[in-house]
Amino acid sequence: MSTPLFPALAGIGWNIPKTVEWSTTVQTARSGKETRIGNWTYPVYHWELVFDFLRAAPANPELQQLTALFNGAGAQVGNFLYTDPDDNAATAQEIGVGDGVTTAFQLVRSFGGYVEPIWAPNVVSSITVAGVPATGWTVSNFDGASPGLVTFAAAPAPGAAIVASFSFYFPCRFEDDRLTAKLLLAALYSADKVRIKSVK
């Protein structure tokens, strides 16, 4: 069974807080000197979605779509794929350099210079090796054994830059076991603070 997509719903509000979270253990000696240990290799992202309206009429079953995703996931239990409206694609992103032996390279994206792996590719539109369009490659999606891994049939030559352009999702889960929708008018609802977080 493939991981479901978070539905694209027309009533989503503009004010969507996005929070970046790291985990750090801070040990303080009696002298006051600190030792800080980073527990995670990459951050976790949180979104707080606000839906100004969710239609519930048969022609626009938006409330039903959101509720079905929530119930199908078992609230916090299951995963889904979320498209961040402003962070969902990478263009001409270098993902590695060939050494003549390695055939598998993890998709990554640079955001403000910080590079992190992509686990849930959507569409890989192009891959070049040393500037030449590559053939004979496959990419594993989030449901695969090695999510986001590009595998070549033949190892790229030593020193050859491997560059990809692609869109991607964030694999996520709900942060709450309750989903609240407020009735505004007949067959019209709103939902505040639908909180989701990325998963690794």
**E strand residue ranges, 39-160:** 44-57, 60-61, 80-82, 89-97, 104-106, 108-111, 114-117, 120-129, 132-133, 137-139, 149-152
Count up the domains in the chain and report the number: 2
The model carries a pTM of 0.92
Residue 11 is assigned to a structural domain of this protein: no
**Could you tell me if 176 and 164 lie in one domain?**
no
Q: Give the range of the structural domain holding residue 130, as residue numbers without chain letter.
A: 89-170
What is the structure's pLDDT at 1? 63
Considering the domain boundaries, does residue 22 fall inside one? Answer: yes
Same domain as 165, residue 96: yes
Kindly state whether residue 5 falls inside one of the protein's structural domains: no
pLDDT in tens, the chain (200 residues): 699 999 999 999 988 899 999 999 999 999 999 999 999 999 999 999 999 999 999 999 999 999 999 999 999 999 999 999 999 999 999 999 999 999 999 999 999 999 999 999 999 999 999 999 999 999 999 998 899 999 999 999 999 999 999 999 999 999 999 999 999 999 999 998 999 999 98
- Residue 132 resides in a domain: yes
pLDDT at site 15: 86
- Other Cβ atoms closer than 10 A to 132: 8
Indicate if 102 and 150 belong to the same structural domain: yes
Q: Give the whole-angstrom CA distance, residue 172 versus residue 179.
A: 16
